[in-house]
Amino acid sequence: MKTRTTLLLSVLSCFSALGANAQETLFQLLPSKGTGIEFRNEIDETEKLNVLSYEYFYNGGGVAVGDINNDGLDDLFFTANMGPNKLYLNLGNLRFRDITKDASPGLAGRKDGWKTGVTMADVNGDGLLDIYICYSGNGTDEQRKNELFVNQGNLKFVESAKSYGLDIVSYSTQAAFFDYDNDGDLDMFQLNHSTKKIDNLELAKFRNETDELAGNKLMENRDGHFVDVSQKAGIRQYPLTFGLGLAITDINKDGWQDIYVTNDYNEPDCMYVNNRDGTFTEDAKNCFRHMSQFSMGVDIADFNNDGLPDVYTLDMLPEDNRRQKLLQLQENYESFELMVSQDLHNQYMRNMLQLNNGDGTFSEIAQAAGVSNTDWSWTPLFADFDNDGYKDLFVTNGYMRDYTNKDFLKYRGDYKVKKAIDREPVQLMDLVKAMPVTLLSGYIYRNNGDLTFTNVKKEWGINKQGLSNGAVYADLDNDGDLDLVVNNLNDRASVFKNTSRERSQSPWMAIRLKYKDKNLHGVGAKVYVYTKSGEQYQEVNPNRGYLSCVSTTVHFGLGRNKAADSVKIVWPDNTIHVMNDAGVNQVLTVEYKGGQPKESVPAAKPAMFKLASGVLDYRHEDFMENDFKRQLLMLFMYSKAGPVIAKGDVNRDGLEDMFISGDKSKTCMLYLQQANGKFAPVKGPYLGDENIAITSAALFFDANGDGFADLYVGKGGYTVIEPESAPLQDELFLNDGKGNLVLTKEHLPVVTGGSKSCIVAGDYDNDGDLDLFVGSRVIPGNYPLSPRSYLLQNDGKGKFTAVTSPMDNVGMVTDAKFADLNKDGKIDLLLCGEFMPVMVFENTGNGFADKTTGYFDTVDKGLWFGLSLADLDGDGNDDIIAGNLGQNSQLQFSAKEPAELYYGDFDNNGSIDPFFNFYIQGVSYPFVSRDELNEQMYAMRRRFTTYKDYADATINKILLPEEMANAKKLAATENRSVCYLRKGGKFVKQVLPLPAQFSVVSRIIPADYDKDGKTDLLLLGNHLDNRLKIGSIDANYGCLLKGDGQGGFTYVRQDVSGLKIVGDVKSALTVDAAGKKYLVVGISNQPLQVYEEP
Amino acid sequence: MKKLLILLCCVLPGFFARAAEEPAPSYLELRPVIFSLTMIMMHDVVNPPAASRYYAYCMAGAYEIVAQNDPSVTGLGKFVTSYPAYTIGKQPGTYDFRVAAVYCVLETGKLMIPSGLQLQEEQAKFLKTLRKNGVAQKSIEAAVKVAEGMAAHIVKWSKTDNYFKLSALRRYRPLKGEGNWYPTPPAYMEAVEPNWATVRPMIIDSCSQFKPAPPVNFSKDSTSEFYRLAREVYEVSVKPDQEKLNIAGFWDCNPFAVTTSGHMSIGFKKMSPGGHWMLITGIACKDAKLSVEKSVVAHLMVGLTLMDAFISCWDEKFRSNRIRPETYINRYIDPRWQPLLQTPPFPEYTSGHSVISTASAEVLTYLFGDNFRYTDDAEVMFELAPRTFTSFRAAAAEAAVSRLYGGIHFRDAIENGAATGRELGQFIVEKLRGSGVAGVW
């Protein structure tokens, strides 16, 4: 008896321990016994019906949530691809009843059909939610007909697709019902997908074709009958698109609904902007700098509470190193280039979070925000799960087979040969089944309220392993927090109860709209909630995520606020309804009353910077060289330095003139400023060309002290140029006193040690003339060896001698400045570079000495791209502003987890083998893929014979001990752009705000732009020519930081600053012309951009 | 005379008394050994030029072992000038040099090919068979030692041929001209071995010694000669007759044809063109009932020829950088057209298969005689029925034209490629003849 009690007690304590543990997570996975939801999306692979016969075989099913009987409880509908769909009536208290059979005999779906997306919408405008089910699969047209189940009001549904004109036979993914023409009824967008991937990239011809089955459709509701208006409306219908995700939003907030469509494979996503006349303009390329390549689900919501909808698309990039190495990643420059040339834009395989800048542009910041890698993902949903006033993010993921496994690609083909040798038939299913299966857990991120997210899947209890596809959130038990419902492949659907209300007192409010006409649920309405913490914004657009549809009730958490100050509803007819005393912790039903004022958009304040046209006509054309063909393991290309700009008054007319470097079709040119403030090119003598070496730096300065500006032009390049060869020799052009710049051969020593990055002038030896420091970035063909930089001493007549200095081989220098930092009357040198700290070389009177550690308490090695000096805190001392790689790339490193570059000619074949490593999930792994490694060092082909062998290898496994012993090492410990404030003789680091970290910062122009007497910062940069696995870094459109005079800065929104600088900024300066101040920006492969400064 | 020879052989170290022309016993046949090299290379997806190099070096050691034991066989150094002399050390006790030669093929492959270690299994199997056939353990051990010494020497020599410097050279950047090669669907793979011409050849003087006639000029004009060439490729594919399909399939020899289905990609593999000719050589040796010694000679000669033929052809490919039919036809004739065979990832001109097949056929004809009738069943493992040929030259001609039927080459690349291959093959034959390598067995 005693033993029994003990046993019982221990069992009990076990239970309670479990209970306690489970209690700790925000979400609780409810057992199906309790909920009554037994639904499973079971798929059965056969030799006839499998992923080879229909490629979207593992894409899963959807969930729709909505109150079908208007009892105040949200009901659920699940689609199953092969098995029966299920409709569950919400009985309250998280209990549900399967009413599928009673509701309609056909609601379970056609037995031989392949069901995909589902939508609940009031299609006929009677106030009752109807159910629209999409079909796809490799069956017949008849088997693929979509179905509309019209709600009869008594929990019965009648299939009526045909009579509404909605019996569409396309390969359908999902449908959305919304009012695109603002006529008061719901129209429909049908998202479809192609079934035949066209492998060649001669796409122009296909774009003229219409594919009724693959192309998307826009269906206009004309008195209850839906009519295909796709062609007229400008919807793409060609056979190339594989539509997987659909979201409706008013992206530009003009009162008209816009459409976002994601496309799998090569075709880029579409952003259809409503032209307000029944037509749409596809505008993705203007909005987005790059997009997800294999885009899947999409959500559009305002995640940063600035009132603007942001776009988040999902892709397939895994978070962990192992799966990144095992699965295929983009490494093919030729196919990428071909795609770009075929108008497919820049697409990369990762999730993209497009932050709406409010000026028609978006900054893609998924990597900085921490939400770029969620593996093979389906549903993204933004919603405030913890009621703190910020929308969190839920992501489902998982694919039944590791399709893109590289061992499978490369080695599984052996199977066919072996079978043939054994004279056995090849079963395709054997191949399919040989693909590894990896179960994943979804992701849930807490919004940190500062543009970033924290992965809290463990803390919030979203760690069930499986394959999750469609999903919705809804407050199923009306307790004031959003629960989650997930459709899983080959597993029971998951219902996660949110316990936020049980755990915190954060108030909430939910708003249910009653609109008019045939849109009683108010689809397309906007809801704003204003509190002390700011504004929150949501649209009533239930189609989001993947194959699924959320409720039309919108939910807000209020965080630390007791109540909302006010709530504003903008109805679909653009009239507004404001409530100043909306209650909390309840569902508010707001009814439309006519006669309200229209939403008035306050006239935008004039932007600070204004685009100026006609000032200087120049367009840079890229060389199309690919430095990775010479060294495939570098991170960036080095031969893309143009256009280079320099300014100086060449003819001494008091007006600043400009030198602009050439490109493949033009030589370097001088542009003289005219009296009217415009710049005219001078057809003059040779100023350098780009035949062999490129122009990589330039400076006007008075070399010979005659009062006229002379010109120094630095040379560079990487792919086709040899170090210590004549083309790398810089050129000095002396002014003949009449404004002519004349090349002189005798005045410069040999300076061919590297590709130049910067030239600065200063009288370091205090002899009254200007000496030079010429920084070098890289030795062509020898990355990452330190190139020779040059200290050039002037003899007073403009003849220079290279003087030995500690800067000679200091590293891969990117920028330098002369300044008298210790105020001893002698200028010191400040410089920065790649895998280097910002360094201070003090002028000792007979040379320079490295005093970096004396000025900085911590030495921050970064991938510094540029630096600037200005007094930021008004203490009379120069502070440093240094531009870095930024935080918005896969390359994350810090002092705690430094990036390391090991290099050496390990195979003694005359080329350096550089292996870059950085931390992923706490371990430092090499960036190099096995394919790249095998290309770099043939010996590696024997060291790792499979991708699996290589997947977990760290640098110590890649290099043998004797190779490691000979390896040299560079490191980087800081990737953020910062300023260093001069305090008590030291430079103290202050990190710039997050928008400054969205991209590479290479040009920094400090000035008091808002005329408040405090120094502001203009940060320019981006970097487009990177390893494909890094991709284009381009989220900076001209980042203006307003200074507080103490060294602190706040970001100025793009629609306020007026800056819309698109592309890879290679040079920037300000010039005075005709009484105005212009910002002149040189961008690779684009026209010069000129802004009038405030 | 025969007696004298036997006597002579007996006093040579490591030689068993036996008839000089004794056909190779089945356990010493080269064909299965070459086959296992081929399987490893297929597994590793070794590209065709690199495969030819492995075959050449793997045979070189075996050949030298034979040459140092059989005075009728000319030393490798006589016709391969880069070969550094190496004398097999004295072994305690006697051994069968033929065993050493065969083992040396596997040993060299083991040391050179990426997944070569997998050949250890084949080596063990081979030794087991020897024991089963009554070869004494001591003699086996001695032969293995000889083979290992020779293989190590060959590997050292191979390291001087610039192969390992390839990874230090600038990779290929597709030229921008309309008529230039660009990577092809579905995988758009980078050009294979763009710098292969820098690898040291075996017998020919330089990569550019046999420059083919220039290709027909590119033109989009539908009345042009070039358009006519493309049209011919297109027409063949539009109404293919079964025999042409068979021929194209038989000579496909694509080591890695990527098949995609949605996101799924899998590479289906075949042996490289060089591998196919090495196996043809094995078939001929068996049909002619050749001794191990002569089999080794024949395999080496074909190996060397393949290596030089690929070097010569690759020199031209990256000189003319010509567009593939698939790209041209998709652009100017039919955007949906796909060739019967998957387009290999390198420029079109000249057809590699035409060059190397014709060159190999010349050398085989010298060794075995013309009108050597044989049945080629090397492709059975790829579910391709055996084909019978009346001569090596007839087979080579079929291999060449198969590229047209397969939709991956224009006719001038085939004809001019075959002409180059013939010249190169004949040059090698003359070189062999001059070095005392006798032909027509």
- Tens of pLDDT, residues A1060-1072: 999 999 999 999 9
Q: Quick check: B45 and A410 CB within 8 A? A: yes
What's the rounded mean pLDDT across residues A123-127? Answer: 97
Closest chain B CA to residue A426 = B383
Q: How far apart are CA A661 and CA A688, in angstroms?
A: 8
Q: Which helix (H) or strand (E) holds B58?
A: helix B48-67
Mean pLDDT of chain A: 94
What pLDDT score was predicted for residue B306? 98
Q: For the ranges A20-29, A465-474, A635-644, B112-121, which has the lowest average pLDDT?
A: A20-29
| Chain A with chain B: Cβ pairs closer than 8 A | 126
Inform me whether the C-beta atom of residue B181 falls under 8 Å from chain A C-beta atoms: no
Give residues 433 to 492 of A whose Cβ lies within 8 Å of B.
435
The total of other beta-carbon atoms located within 10 Å of residue B335's CB is: 17
Q: Quick check: B335 and A200 CB within 8 A? A: yes
As a residue count, chain B comes to 441
- Assess whether pLDDT exceeds 60 at residue A11: no
- Assess whether pLDDT exceeds 60 at residue B156: yes
What's the rounded mean pLDDT across residues A933-954? Answer: 94
Inform me whether the C-beta atom of residue B384 falls under 8 Å from chain A C-beta atoms: no
- Assess whether pLDDT exceeds 70 at residue A630: yes
Inform me whether the C-beta atom of residue B260 falls under 8 Å from chain A C-beta atoms: yes
Distances (CA, A) of A976 to A863, A995, A996, A998, A1040: 9, 11, 8, 9, 16
**CB-CB: which of B114, B338, B381 is closest to A941?**
B114
What's the rounded mean pLDDT across residues A212-227? Answer: 97
- Assess whether pLDDT exceeds 60 at residue B7: no
Inform me whether the C-beta atom of residue B165 falls under 8 Å from chain A C-beta atoms: yes
- Assess whether pLDDT exceeds 70 at residue A3: no
- Assess whether pLDDT exceeds 90 at residue B409: yes
Inform me whether the C-beta atom of residue B333 falls under 8 Å from chain A C-beta atoms: no
Q: How far apart are CA B34 and CA B278, in angstroms?
A: 7
Taking only the tens place, the pLDDT of each residue in B122-150 is 999 999 999 999 999 999 999 999 999 99
What pLDDT score was predicted for residue B384? 86
What's the rounded mean pLDDT across residues B103-108? Answer: 98
* Structural domains of chain B ordered from first start: 25-162 (no CATH), 219-435 (1.10.606.20)
What's the rounded mean pLDDT across residues A469-489? Answer: 98
What pLDDT score was predicted for residue B21? 66
Taking only the tens place, the pLDDT of each residue in B87-99 is 998 887 889 999 9
What pLDDT score was predicted for residue B19? 40
Which chain B residues contact residue A630 at CB under 8 A? Answer: 170-171
CB A337 within 8 A of CB A394: no
Q: How far apart are CA A251 and CA A271, in angstroms?
A: 9
What pLDDT score was predicted for residue A7? 43
Which chain A residues contact residue B186 at CB under 8 A? Answer: 199
At A446 the three-state DSSP class reads strand
What pLDDT score was predicted for residue B12? 39
Mean pLDDT of chain B: 92
What's the rounded mean pLDDT across residues A825-843? Answer: 98
What pLDDT score was predicted for residue A436? 82
At A551 the three-state DSSP class reads coil
How would residue A330 be classed by pLDDT, with cut points 50, 70 and 90?
low
pTM of the model: 0.94
Q: Quick check: B115 and A413 CB within 8 A? A: no
Q: Quick check: B176 and A421 CB within 8 A? A: no
Q: Name the strands in the sheet holding A1089-1092, side by side, starting at the edge strand that comes first in the sequence.
A: A610-611, A1089-1092, A1076-1083, A1065-1073
Helix, strand, coil percent values for chain A (each to nearest 5): 15, 35, 50
Burial profile B150-164: b = 16 or more Cβ within 10 angstroms, e = fewer: bbebbbebbeebbbb
Q: Quick check: B164 and A909 CB within 8 A? A: yes
Bridge partners of residue A695, in order along the sequence: A715
What pLDDT score was predicted for residue A91? 98
Taking only the tens place, the pLDDT of each residue in A836-858 is 999 999 999 999 999 999 999 99
Distances (CA, A) of A335 to A201, A316, A924, B176, B185: 9, 19, 30, 14, 9
Q: Which helix (H) or strand (E) holds B126?
A: helix B119-132
- What φ, ψ does residue A115 adopt, rounded to 5°? -85, 145
Which of B261, B324, B346 is the best residue to mutate to test the A interface, defined by the most A CB atoms within 10 Å of its own CB? B261
What pLDDT score was predicted for residue A21? 47
Taking only the tens place, the pLDDT of each residue in A407-434 is 888 888 888 888 877 778 877 788 888 8
- Assess whether pLDDT exceeds 80 at residue A152: yes
- Assess whether pLDDT exceeds 90 at residue A65: yes
Taking only the tens place, the pLDDT of each residue in A1067-1094 is 999 999 999 999 999 999 999 999 999 9
Taking only the tens place, the pLDDT of each residue in A247-284 is 999 999 999 999 999 999 999 999 999 999 999 999 99
B29: which residues sit within 8 A by CB, 6+ positions away? B282, B285, B286, B295
**CB-CB: which of B164, B186, B256 is closest to A938?**
B164
- Assess whether pLDDT exceeds 60 at residue B105: yes
What's the rounded mean pLDDT across residues B420-436? Answer: 96
Give residues 618 to 657 of A whose Cβ lies within 8 Å of B.
624-626, 628-630, 632
Tokens representing A751 are 């300076």
Inform me whether the C-beta atom of residue B220 falls under 8 Å from chain A C-beta atoms: no
Q: For the ranges A48-52, A893-897, B270-274, which has the lowest average pLDDT?
A: A48-52
Q: Which helix (H) or strand (E) holds A818?
A: strand A812-819
- What φ, ψ does residue A473 adopt, rounded to 5°? -115, 150
Which chain A residues contact residue B190 at CB under 8 A? Answer: 332-334
Which of A335, A427, A928 is the best residue to mutate to test the B interface, defined by the most B CB atoms within 10 Å of its own CB? A335
How many angstroms away from the CA of A55 is the closest CA of chain B?
6
- Residue A800's Cβ-count burial label (10 Å; 0-12, 13-18, 19+) is buried
Give residues 548 to 567 of A whose Cβ lies within 8 Å of B.
none
**CB-CB: which of B42, B44, B174 is closest to A334?**
B174
Inform me whether the C-beta atom of residue B256 falls under 8 Å from chain A C-beta atoms: yes
Distances (CA, A) of B245 to B335, B338, B353, B384: 22, 14, 17, 11
Inform me whether the C-beta atom of residue B377 falls under 8 Å from chain A C-beta atoms: no
